[in-house]
Amino acid sequence: MRAGWRAVTEFVVLFAGLLAYIVVGLVREAIGWLRRTGRGPG
């Protein structure tokens, strides 16, 4: 039982990290695109 929970926890942590990495990349791309179009901050 413990081993199963540990595997699930590790998978969730890895998945959350990957999701955060993708979201950060998308946000950076969106900010860069807005700046290129002249509608973003700065």
Q: Total structural domains in the chain?
A: 1
Tokens of 11: 């998978």
At 5 the pLDDT is 93
What residues have CB less than 8 Å from 40, skipping those under 6 apart?
31, 33, 34
Which whole number is the average pLDDT over 15-42?
A: 89
**What is the pTM (predicted TM-score) of this model?**
0.60
Which whole number is the average pLDDT over 28-41?
A: 84
Tokens of 16: 């959350």
Asked whether residue 40 carries a pLDDT value surpassing 70, the answer given is no
Residue 16 vs residues 1, 3, 4, 9, 35: alpha-carbon distances, Å = 23, 20, 18, 10, 28
Asked whether residue 11 carries a pLDDT value surpassing 90, the answer given is yes
Q: Which domain holds residue 15?
A: 1-42
Contact 34, 40 (CB under 8 A): yes
Band (pLDDT 50/70/90 cuts) for residue 41 is low
